[in-house]
Structures are given as C-alpha cells and as structure tokens.
C-alpha cells in the first residue's frame, strides 16, 4: 500500500478535506477500505458497477423521501402513477451515473427496485408518525460546514448534508432524521457518529438560514422492505432488523458527548494513519468483504471459502 501522504491529499479534517460521515463509517468498517477510497480519490478511478448500483439505490430512496416530505398530499404514494414515477427516477439516475442506456439486465434490476421502493414507501406511510405532531419541516438535504474540537487550537472541519430537519415551536428545538435504505444499521443510535455530527451542525448554526437551536431528538427513518418474521427485534443489538419506520437515539447522550468521545478520537486516529501510511488491520466481519469492491486487490480480505 502506498503511503497516503505521497498522494498529496490533505489530511482528514483539514479545510480542503472536511470530515464526512462516509469517511468515518468507511474507516470504522475497515481501515484498508478507507485507504483504498483515498487512493481512488487521488487517481479518479471509478468504483465497480456493483458498488455504483448500491449508491444509486441510496440516491433514489433519498430523493423519493425528500419528495414525500415536501408534498402535503401523502396519499400520492399509493397511486399507480407513483410506482411509474419511481421507475422514472431510477432510470434518470442510472443514465446520469452510468452515462449510457441500461442493458436488459439493468432494466430488470431497475424494475425490481422500483417495485420494492413503492412497497417500502407505502409501508412507511402506513406507520408514519410524522403527521399531526405540530412540527414544521425546516430543511431537507441541508448542507453544513463547521469547525469543532475540544480545544480551540485543535479544531477540525466537518461537512455533510442532513436529510431532514423539523422545528418544534412548542419546545423550541429541532427534530433531526437521517434516511437509511441499506440492510445493515447502527446498533447504538445514541452513539452513532453520523447523527452526532449532524446534530452538532444544527446546534452550532452551521446550516445556512437555519438558526442554532438544540436538537431535541435525533434518529433514523428506516426505508427497507417489510419483513414480518424479524419485526420485534427493533431495539436489539447491532445488525438486528429494523422494520420501516422511525427509530430515535436516547437524548441523554448529547451530540457534544458523541463528538468528544467517539467522533474526535476517530478523526485523530485516521489522521495518524494518514501520516504514517499504515492502514493494516482489515475488517473482522466477512460480510464487509463480500460487499467490498476492493476484494480482488486487498491482501487483508477474509476468505469466504
Ligand atoms: S476486502 Fe475486506 S479487508 Fe479488504 S478492504 Fe474490503 S472490507 Fe476491508
């Protein structure tokens, strides 16, 4: 593995390379995987198709959810035209990402995913607790950028995009939600890195035109196909199944605690690895390898045979 500082990229947390949640998650999942992504960044290598399709699915789900929140007539989810709309969205993003027409195999995948998206959104809509709570949607896809550190001298840059933020006039604070369309989810939402960074951004006024206020509740909106067999384990350990709906973090753990005890030490560790170029110690979970686009090149991979 090349030493990363030979690539001439800024260190994580510098102004030219603010910390994004994808950096933190990639490093925590597997340090070599994080290193591979930095090398790609330096060489402009495109990820393989399987990885790009997973990313495309995430983009479409986020777009659908954003549209859902911004429409007042939520019954549109149940109409036949809406399913065709999901397919159009999938095709649109496909052409944008892959710069070409889908093959027959791609079209079959798009068809299947559009139908799944329709089912998921109807399932979510039936269980939705967002309506009638007296809260106002303040922003979707809200970009932020801020500096944070336990001591002024050592502040690092953070950037990203918050999926959805509501304001409660009664409680004078925010409700923050991230959309999740993947199959695996964080087990301890109160210590979740992404929710911690996003909440800190809202609390310190890092979003344009959104005043700084406390985040009263942070959590995820789960967009995944309904599986009757596994529902009921929603508050269990990491890797447990979450049905479609809303899951929130214990508010007694504040965003500042997450930043200080989880996020900041991880950023320092990544910077140290970037300085030394040592990214040994791959994942312990073979499932990560089976989904990793770097498996052929990686010496740390776990054999699934
Ligand atoms: S193949 Fe496995 S060990 Fe190697 S980078 Fe990917 S997830 Fe990490």
Mutate which of 280, 294, 297 for ligand 1? The one with the most ligand atoms within 8 Å of its CB, which is 294
Q: What is the pLDDT of residue 160?
A: 94
Strand pairing partners for 19? 158
Asked if 19 contacts 156 with a C-beta cutoff of 8 angstroms, the reply is yes
Those residues whose C-beta lies under 8 Å from the C-beta of residue 31, and which sit 6 or more positions away, are 273, 279, 280, 281, 282
Q: Is residue 209 packed enough to be buried (19+ CB in 10 Å), middle (13-18) or exposed (0-12)? A: exposed
pLDDT the model gives residue 46: 58
pLDDT for 10 equals 84
What is the per-residue pLDDT for 229? Answer: 39
CA dist 238 and 211 (Å) reads 34
Instruction: Tell whether ligand 1 has an atom less than 6 A from the beta carbon of residue 26.
Output: no
Give residue 241's pLDDT.
Answer: 46
Residues in the chain: 305
What confidence tens digit (pLDDT) does each residue in 198-256 have? 999 999 999 999 999 999 999 888 776 554 434 444 443 334 445 566 778 888 999 99
CA–CA distance, 222 with 96 (Å, rounded to integer):
26
Q: Are the CB atoms for 189 and 247 separated by under 8 Å?
A: yes
Mean per-residue pLDDT for 187-205?
92
Nearest-CA residue for ligand 1 atom 2 is 289
Q: What percent of the chain has pLDDT over 70?
A: 74
The answer to whether the CB of 270 is under 6 A from ligand 1 is no
292 close to ligand 1 (CB < 6 Angstrom): yes
pLDDT in tens, 78-92: 555 666 677 777 888
Predicted model pTM: 0.78
- How big is the chain by its Cα radius of gyration, in Å? 20
Q: Is 30's C-beta closer than 6 angstroms to any atom of ligand 1?
A: yes
Give the contacts of 195 (CB within 8 A, at least 6 positions apart).
176, 178, 189, 218, 219, 220, 249, 255, 258
In the chain, which residue ranges form alpha helices assigned H by DSSP? 21-29, 31-43, 49-70, 80-98, 104-127, 193-203, 255-258, 264-276, 286-290
């Amino acid at each position: 593995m090349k030493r990363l500082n030979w690539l001439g990229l800024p260190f994580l947390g510098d102004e030219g390379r603010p910390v994004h949640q994808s950096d933190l998650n990639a490093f925590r999942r597997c340090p070599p995987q994080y290193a591979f992504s930095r090398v790609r960044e330096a060489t402009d290598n495109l990820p393989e198709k399987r990885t790009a399709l997973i990313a495309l699915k995430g983009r479409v789900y986020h777009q659908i959810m954003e549209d859902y929140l911004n429409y007042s007539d939520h019954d549109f989810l149940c109409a036949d035209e809406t399913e065709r709309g999901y397919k159009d969205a999938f095709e649109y993003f496909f052409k944008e990402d892959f710069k070409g027409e889908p093959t027959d195999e791609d079209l079959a995948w798009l068809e299947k995913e559009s139908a799944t998206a329709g089912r998921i959104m109807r399932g979510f809509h039936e269980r939705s607790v967002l309506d009638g709570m007296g809260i106002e949607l303040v922003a979707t896809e809200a970009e932020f950028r801020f500096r944070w550190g336990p001591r002024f001298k050592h502040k690092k840059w953070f950037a990203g995009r918050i999926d959805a933020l509501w304001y409660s006039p009664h409680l004078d604070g925010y409700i923050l939600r991230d959309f999740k369309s993947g199959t695996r989810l964080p087990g301890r939402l109160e210590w979740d890195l992404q929710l911690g960074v996003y909440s800190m951004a809202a609390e310190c006024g890092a979003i344009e035109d959104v005043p700084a206020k406390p985040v009263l509740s942070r959590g995820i909106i789960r967009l995944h196909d309904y599986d009757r067999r596994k529902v009921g384990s929603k508050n269990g350990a990491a890797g447990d199944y979450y049905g479609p709906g809303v899951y929130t973090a214990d508010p007694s753990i504040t965003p500042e605690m997450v930043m200080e005890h989880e996020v900041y030490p991880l950023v320092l560790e990544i910077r140290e690895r970037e300085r030394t170029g040592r990214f040994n110690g791959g994942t312990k979970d073979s499932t990560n390898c089976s989904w990793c686009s770097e498996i052929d090149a990686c010496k740390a991979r776990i054999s699934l045979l």
